[in-house]
Structure 1
Amino acid sequence: MPTGMLFIFAPLLVGYLIQTSNTAFLSGVNRATNYLIVVILALMGLSLASLDNLGQNLQLILKYVVVFSVCIGLSNLAALPIVDKLFPIRVESKKNTLSLSTMAFESIKLILFVGIGLVAGRLLYIDLSWVDIASESVLFVLLFLIGIQLRNSGLSLRQILLNKQGMIIAITIITTSILGGAVAAVILDLELYQALAMSCGFGWYSLSGILMGDAFGPIFGGASFMIELVRELVALVMIPLVIHSRPSVAIGYAGATAMDFTLPIIQSTGGVRCVPIAIVSGFILSLLVPLLMLFFVSLVEQIA
């Protein structure tokens, strides 16, 4: 990563130091974050457009997506049922009132922004040398806003530490995802730390795609984005099917999105008892996505 781990992590830390109860300010932060995600996804598409042998590179991205998704997914799903058995969660019987197709469309819609950037870059024949600098600049602002969101999410450190089930689920996802990433490294013949960084997105597709693209280029950025988007889409289908019999599986596989995007469907199908567990698990994973990714990226740089 050109700017180094500390320089990338600094805006996240500065944002996390800002605590406020001003709802209008926080609402503006949320809107700005959503806009910046759209911008940076379009920039990701422009980065892909600048690649030589685009068709061959897209095949490589697809290969990475399939291998990482299978290895990480199987590793997660092998361990989470054990958590359900050792630390059972009582789930309410509720009928799902949410439209899975609507929620899935919101996820898939993000791919369109990458596609718009890709098509624009290929058809307009514009100079794309500025894209990397622009992506990095937007990334700094985005990490700053994400830090503010995490600090003002409504959870205190005490609440997180006292929710044993949420912590156990998060630790299980972290451990098994890293294990799955190590297996993917062997299959794809990637550097170990590079693959471990790829495995630590935990469902946060926008940030993981941005960080990996900044660290290793648009191929890894595009692959990371798709890997985590696949996790979210699978989670949307899985949650209502398994949450009554395997709530830890449903909450855990949702990853970082358990505290935001997939939380409504977790609450709708599993009941209010699942909400604090999902929020704590999702919060821990969200907080650790940039920390773990940047840690493994720094190890790759040290070896290089």
Structure 2
Amino acid sequence: MFTGMIFIFAPLIVGYLFSISNAKVLETVNRATSQLIYVILGLMGLSLAALDNLGSNLQTILLYTFTFFICLSTCNLLALPLIDKAMPLKTDGSQNKLPLSSMALESAKLILVVGSGLIIGLLLPFELHWVDSASEWILFILLFFIGIQLRNSGLTLKQILLNKHGMVIATTIIITSLIGGVIASFILDIPLFNALAMSSGFGWYSLAGILMGDAFGPVYGGASFMLELLRELVALVVIPLLIRTHPATSIGYAGATAMDFTLPVIQTTGGVRCVPVAIVSGFILSILVPVLMLFFVSLTN
């Protein structure tokens, strides 16, 4: 787990070491960041195409997925806007505010790229075992570019690493997600600790699916994977639409992915001032995913 955290932070730290005064070079970095977002989204679509057939358990998996998604999302979104009111966070994205239709179109483009990758992966007969590795390397490049942007944004290391907004957002997500898990356990009539474990994925679909599958079998594993993946996909829509008016809500809903996968989208649409908040929030949630999941799993034995 901590080895993975080092790999995530290493490109950010290395990028932060580069002080660039040339405006053209910085513009090239910004443009490359935006373009690589679409590349990694396409690869995510390909990875979906490589999933095994879930077979006869698909109906139960979908029921669990959408029940938890509604319960967790509702609880999260009821609380997160209160942070925006109590602790307003300034964004420094594009000064020219886009109309709602334009922001919705931008979100739709992101989803379209994922869908295109999925269709290509299903239709074309080629191996997809390389997709996960390629996504990781491209993600490292993205984080390196974001590190450069952070260094040249005027933000200090203290602002990046110690951010009260990020800690409050993470705490809110943890509490409201567990409340949502309790509600889902009653609706689905499943053991409480099973539900609490499933509610502790916070958007980290790969690890959550593995831990839940190992603990409770393929139905829970598949449902947890799809739940966190769905959360990530919805976050891609929510972030561009809401981040200028509700930055804490947008960052919080991204969950653990705010420190890696959705971080470039947060930076592009909300500006670099949102990045330290996203990193702190995502970092806390990422660390607690295995801790909380394994804790609740241990209580079921």
Question: Is the CA contact 1:44–1:222 (under 8 Å) kept in the aligned structure 2?
Answer: no
Is 1:264 equivalent to 2:283 in the alignment? no
Runs of 5+ in structure 2 lacking a partner? 15-43, 124-132, 148-156
Correspondence for 1:219: 219
Correspondence for 1:231: 231
Which is worse superposed, 92-101 or 69-78? 92-101
1:162 is matched by which residue type in structure 2? L
Matched ranges for 1:243-282 at <5 A: 243-282=243-282
Measured at CA, do residues 267 and 13 of structure 1 come closer, stay the same or move farther in structure 2, by a change above 3 Å? closer
Structure 2 CA distance for aligned equivalents of residues 293 and 44 of structure 1: 23
Correspondence for 1:45: 52
Correspondence for 1:127: none
RMSD: 3.9
Question: Is the CA contact 2:91–2:244 (under 8 Å) kept in the aligned structure 1?
Answer: yes
Cα deviation, residue 286, structure 1: 1.2
Correspondence for 1:119: none
1:208 is matched by which residue type in structure 2? A
Give the TM-score of the pair, scaled to structure 1: 0.66
Question: Is the CA contact 1:41–1:206 (under 8 Å) kept in the aligned structure 2?
Answer: no
2:271 is matched by which residue type in structure 1? G
Tell me the alpha carbon deviations over residues 110-154 of structure 1, each in whole angstroms, 9 at most, x when there is no partner. Answer: 9789989xxxxxxxxxxxxxxxxxxxxxxxxx9xx9xxx9xx998
Correspondence for 2:19: none
Measured at CA, do residues 221 and 264 of structure 1 come closer, stay the same or move farther in structure 2, by a change above 3 Å? same
Q: Match of 2:79, SS? A: helix
Is 1:74 equivalent to 2:81 in the alignment? no
Q: Which runs of 4+ in 1 moved over 2 A?
A: 12-23, 40-46, 95-116, 157-162
Measured at CA, do residues 233 and 17 of structure 1 come closer, stay the same or move farther in structure 2, by a change above 3 Å? closer
2:111 to 83, 90, 104: 104
Is 1:175 equivalent to 2:182 in the alignment? no
Cα deviation, residue 265, structure 1: 1.6
Runs of 5+ in structure 1 lacking a partner? 1-11, 24-36, 117-141
Count of aligned pairs = 243
Structure 2 CA distance for aligned equivalents of residues 93 and 17 of structure 1: 28
Correspondence for 2:296: 296
1:72 is matched by which residue type in structure 2? L
Cα deviation, residue 170, structure 1: 0.5
Tell me the alpha carbon deviations over residues 266-301 of structure 1, each in whole angstroms, 9 at most, x when there is no partner. Answer: 11111111111011111111111111111111111x
Cα deviation, residue 262, structure 1: 1.3
Measured at CA, do residues 254 and 270 of structure 1 come closer, stay the same or move farther in structure 2, by a change above 3 Å? same
Measured at CA, do residues 298 and 216 of structure 1 come closer, stay the same or move farther in structure 2, by a change above 3 Å? same
Cα deviation, residue 42, structure 1: 8.7
Structure 1 CA distance for aligned equivalents of residues 268 and 10 of structure 2: 29
Question: Is the CA contact 2:160–2:276 (under 8 Å) kept in the aligned structure 1?
Answer: no
Structure 2 CA distance for aligned equivalents of residues 172 and 225 of structure 1: 22
Give the TM-score of the pair, scaled to structure 2: 0.67
Identity %: 56
Measured at CA, do residues 83 and 16 of structure 1 come closer, stay the same or move farther in structure 2, by a change above 3 Å? closer
Cα deviation, residue 93, structure 1: 4.4
1:80 is matched by which residue type in structure 2? L
Question: Is the CA contact 1:42–1:115 (under 8 Å) kept in the aligned structure 2?
Answer: yes
Cα deviation, residue 100, structure 1: 3.5
